[in-house]
Amino acid sequence: MTHETRNDISDERLEAMLAELEIEKAPASLTQRLNRIPEEHRRRGWKWPWQWSLAPAPRWAMAPAFAAVPLIVLAVFLFQDRGPSESEVEQARHDLAVAFAYMDRVGLRTGAEIQGVLGAELRQTVKQPLVEHLLVNETSRKEETS
Amino acid sequence: MSRRFRQWVDAYQDQAWTLARYLLKDASEAEDAVQEAFVKLWHNRDRVDPGKIKPWLMRVTRNQCLDRLRRRKPTEEWADWQKADEGPGPAQGLEQQELAARLKHSINGLKEPYRSLVVLRDVQQHSYEEVASVLELSLSQVKVYLHRARKQLREQLAEVRP
C-alpha cells in the first residue's frame, strides 16, 4: 500500500479559499442581547447629582482633588469672619478676673517675702559697717587717753 | 447615543461573533464574550476614537476570548467545533463544503496569535494596519506571522491519499 503526499496548495489558492469562508451571521439572540445593552446599562449606571460632576474627571485628577478637600475646609474655618458669642465673652471675662486675682495674690505674697528677706539684709548691711566703725573709733580714743 | 450604538452593533456584531466562534468554538461562550465586549464599548463610548471603533472592538473581543480560554479546562478545547460545520452554508458543492470544513478545522488547529491573524486578515479581510492594531503587533510582525500561519495551514491541508 503506497501513500502519495499532495502538498500543492499555492498561496493564492489558500487565500482564495480563506476569503470564501463566510463571516458567520450573529444569531438573533445575540443581536437582541446587544441591542438591550444601552437600556440595561444606562439604568444600572444611574448616578446621584453630586456624582455627575465627578464622573467625567480622569482618575489622575481625583487624588489631588480629594487631597485638597481638607485644606479647603481648614482654610474656610481659619479665615471665616466669625465674632465671639456672648457666652464666650462672659466666660473670657470670668477667666480674666480669676487670672488677675491670682496674680494679685501672688504679687502680694512675693512682695512680702522680698520685703522680709531684703529688709533683714539691708539692716545688716547698714548696721555692720557702723558697728565696726564705732568699735574702731572707741579703741583709738582709748589708746589716745591712756 | 444608543442609536449610534445600535449602528455599531449592526456593523460589527457579525465580525466579532465570527472571531469569537473561531477562538472559543462554543456558541454560548462566544455570545457571552461578544456581549461583554459590546458592554465595554458602551461604557467607553466617549473615550474610543470614533474612527477606530472596529479595531478597538475586535481587540476587546479577542481579549475576552483569550481570558475565557485561559480559564477553560484543557479537555473543553474542542467541545463545540463540529457544530459549526453542520449549519447551512452557502450553495457550495459537497467537495467545497468538505474543503471549507477542513480549512476551518485547520484554522482551529493554529495557535495564537496565528489563529486570530488568519481569521482577521484572511477570513474577515481586515487591513494589515487594522490587524496590527487589534493584535497590538507591528506591521512587519503581522506579515511574518501571517506567512508562518499560512504555511502551517498549507501543511495541514496537505492531503494524504491511499
Compare A6 and B124 and report the one with higher pLDDT: B124
Give the residue from A13, A22, A30, A41 with the most B CB atoms within 10 Å of its CB, the best one to mutate: A30
For residues B103 and B105, give the distance between their C-alpha atoms in angstroms, rounded to a whole number: 5
Residue with cell 506591521: B139
pLDDT in tens, A131-140: 777 777 777 7
The three cell numbers of residue A69 are 478637600
For residues B162 and A67, give the distance between their C-alpha atoms in angstroms, rounded to a whole number: 78
pLDDT at B83: 47
- Chain A residues with CB under 8 Å of B99 CB are 17
pLDDT in tens, B7-62: 999 999 999 999 998 888 888 889 999 999 999 999 888 888 888 899 999 999 99
pLDDT in tens, A1-49: 444 344 567 777 777 778 777 778 888 988 888 888 888 877 655 555 6
DSSP secondary-structure letter at B45?
T
For residues A17 and A20, give the distance between their C-alpha atoms in angstroms, rounded to a whole number: 5
Summary mean pLDDT of chain A: 76
CA distance A59 to chain B (A): 13
3-state secondary structure of A8: coil
pLDDT in tens, B145-162: 988 888 888 888 775 333
Give the residue from B1, B4, B5 with the most A CB atoms within 10 Å of its CB, the best one to mutate: B5
Sign for the CA dihedral angle at B117, B120, B121, B126 comes to negative
pLDDT in tens, B97-120: 777 778 888 888 888 889 998 888
pLDDT in tens, A94-106: 999 999 898 888 8
Q: Which residue of B has its CA nearest to A11?
A: B150
Which H or E run includes B9? helix B2-24
Chain A residues with CB within 8 Å of chain B CB: 1, 3-7, 9, 11, 14-15, 17-27, 29-31, 33-35, 37-39, 41-42, 45, 56
Q: What are phi and psi of B161, to 5 degrees?
A: -105, 140
Query: Which ipTM value was assigned to this complex?
Result: 0.71
pLDDT at A59: 62
Give the residue from B29, B97, B157 with the most A CB atoms within 10 Å of its CB, the best one to mutate: B157
What percent of chain B shows pLDDT beyond 90?
A: 18
- Of residues A6, A11, A18, nearest to B158 (C-beta): A6
- Chain A residues with CB under 8 Å of B84 CB are 24
Report all structural domains of chain B as residue ranges with CATH numbers, in order of start: 1-77 (1.10.1740.10), 93-162 (1.10.10.10)
- Of residues B39, B103, B158, nearest to A17 (C-beta): B103
- Of the pLDDT bands very low, low, confident and very high (cuts 50, 70, 90), residue B84 is very low
DSSP secondary-structure letter at B93?
-
3-state secondary structure of A5: strand
